[in-house]
Structure 1
Amino acid sequence: MSKALGYNGKRVIVSGCFSGMGEATARALIELGAEVHGFDFKDSSLPLASFNRLDLRDPASIEAAVAAVGGKVDALFNCAGLPGGGAFPALDTFKVNFAGTRHLTENVLPLMGPGGAVVSIASTGGLGWSRRIPVHMELMQTSGFAGATAWAEAHPEHVAEGYAFSKEAVIVWTQFLCARLIKQGIRINCTLPSPTQTPMMDTFQATSGKEVVDAAAEPLGRYSTAEEQANGLLLINSDLAGIVTGVVLPVDGGFMGSLATGQIDISKMMKRG
């Protein structure tokens, strides 16, 4: 099965490789024989082909990291992110989770050819995207990092604390971009993780409330692991995924299905810790 995934010999980039889902993804890709180039704000201890310090709030940092890798890139894993709930300034969260992630992708895409694939980590916290399509489509029309940031600065009422809106934006951007990219033979998808036991979990619980986070972990009844989330990313970016593109893939132990069929007490998720 590892051979079927098709990562052996591929050149890939993983942002957020220092810890959590990004670290688990980078480690798995190394084990699968990929040439893994890691980006993060903090140094990684993994045996990467290269590591470049990256600040997704800084477009020059993004451009320098991509230029340092150079050459052909077969796959990009956008795993870097910040939590919300006021843990960080709202604009910083927006920049890292959307504006910087989009800018990184736009800089990597010219290095990709047919068969290339991009996957980003969104969130069940971005489930409100469908109710704000006109707002998000306005954001999608912006150009570059500066354009997205200027839009966010002009619309604090939409950005709010930064996390939910930025993850909604990742979802809409994935679906918006897929039709153009598939014409070049490149796929783009994103995943919706359930609550995951990573170093960010303490911040999520402190800012959103443990009861809220625990409600999003049903019906699985536990937090997922970084490795389980990495497996979802590996699958959807692999050769096995064929022409799968524009997909928002729940990796959530049945949360989305249970929510859609009324088996989740949504009232718990509306509370604030």
Structure 2
Amino acid sequence: MSEQSHYPSLNGRCYVVTGATSGIGEATARALIDQGARVVALGRNAEALSRLAEYGCETHPLDITDSAQLEQMIGGLGVVDGLINSAGITHVESALTLPAERIDAVFQANARAAAIAARCVARHMIEAGRAGSIVNVSSQASLVGLDAHLAYSASKAAMDAITRALCLELGPAGIRVNSVNPTVTMTPMAEKVWSAPEKREPMLAAIPLGRFAEMADVVTPILFLLSDEAGMISGVCLPIDGGYTAR
């Protein structure tokens, strides 16, 4: 981490990261370890969890939509200072052919699971009298219309609504809740998906900065929102999109 992205207030604190076995979740878990935090990494990929354990994370393989299992695990953690909701799935298909069961699956993974995880962590924090921060990893797809993204866009819009509702409800307990809303972010999977020039170039042309986000472009704002330096920021949905949603 660069000197500019070092947040001393994160040192020694404990954060739960969902979807920690890939992409932004994994990068965030590793960055928090670098900041001196204790990280509880949740996911379903055993091999990736093993790598995170070697990096210093406490790992738990589980399905976060199982609220009973999540509540039991959170209850045994001791002090918790916050949550990063990064678990989710993407499905791109025309609204005219999108099956109802696919809509349900995307909402369950992206919106329902985020609400359940936030509920479990917030209950634990409030019972311990602990203030802190929750960051939901949303998407620019919640802020603008995108072709063939009905289920994904709607689920991320729901996540942003969850952010605002929790901001009001948890604020009196000293728990801040925010979303980050990235554009295409260069995870290994995204690099494959956006490698074709006919797909990549039109999207880049719509981003005023003319590039996709790198992992650090998203992780650094997450760290900031978790830190005391963002102590008066709550209820925000922060575009990290190079200006895409300004059009």
TM exceeds 0.5? Answer: yes
| Distance 1:203-1:103 versus aligned 2 partners, 3 A rule | farther
Q: Does residue 201 in structure 1 map to residue 190 in structure 2?
A: yes
SS, match of residue 162 in structure 1: helix
Q: Which amino acid aligns with 1:167?
A: K
Distance in 2 of aligned mates of 1:248 and 1:97: 16
Give the stretch that moved more between structures: 25-34 or 105-114. Answer: 105-114
Q: Does residue 34 in structure 1 map to residue 23 in structure 2?
A: no
Q: Does residue 179 in structure 1 map to residue 168 in structure 2?
A: yes
Structure 1 residue 2: Cα displacement: 6.0
Q: Does residue 8 in structure 1 map to residue 14 in structure 2?
A: no
The CA RMSD measured in Å over matched residues stands at 2.7
Gaps of 5+ in 1: 130-159, 260-273
Gaps of 5+ in 2: none
Are the equivalent residues in 1 in contact too, given 2:16–2:40 (CA < 8 A)?
yes
Distance in 2 of aligned mates of 1:213 and 1:58: 39
Which residue pairs with 2:86 in the alignment? 79
Are the equivalent residues in 2 in contact too, given 1:5–1:240 (CA < 8 A)?
no
SS, match of residue 233 in structure 1: helix
**How many pairs are equivalent?**
225
Residues 41-60 of structure 1 mapped to structure 2, 5 A cutoff: 41-43=44-46, 44=49, 45-46=51-52, 47-60=55-68
**Percent pairwise identity:** 34
Structure 1 residue 128: Cα displacement: 5.3
Q: Which amino acid aligns with 1:48?
A: G
Distance in 2 of aligned mates of 1:205 and 1:126: 20
Q: Which runs of 4+ in 1 moved over 4 A?
A: 1-5, 202-206
| Distance 1:249-1:84 versus aligned 2 partners, 3 A rule | same
Q: Does residue 225 in structure 1 map to residue 218 in structure 2?
A: no
Structure 1 residue 30: Cα displacement: 0.3
Distance in 2 of aligned mates of 1:35 and 1:178: 24
Are the equivalent residues in 2 in contact too, given 1:90–1:162 (CA < 8 A)?
yes
Q: Give a deviation string over 1:11-49, Cα, whole Å, max 9, x none.
A: 111111111111111111001100111001213212234
Q: Give a deviation string over 1:73-103, Cα, whole Å, max 9, x none.
A: 1011111111121499221211110101110
Distance in 1 of aligned mates of 2:10 and 2:225: 12
Which residue pairs with 1:121 in the alignment? 137
SS, match of residue 181 in structure 2: strand
Which residue pairs with 1:24 in the alignment? 27
TM, length-normalised to structure 1: 0.74
SS, match of residue 136 in structure 2: strand
SS, match of residue 84 in structure 2: strand
| Distance 1:240-1:210 versus aligned 2 partners, 3 A rule | same
Give the stretch that moved more between structures: 111-120 or 101-110. Answer: 111-120
Distance in 2 of aligned mates of 1:114 and 1:185: 8
TM, length-normalised to structure 2: 0.81
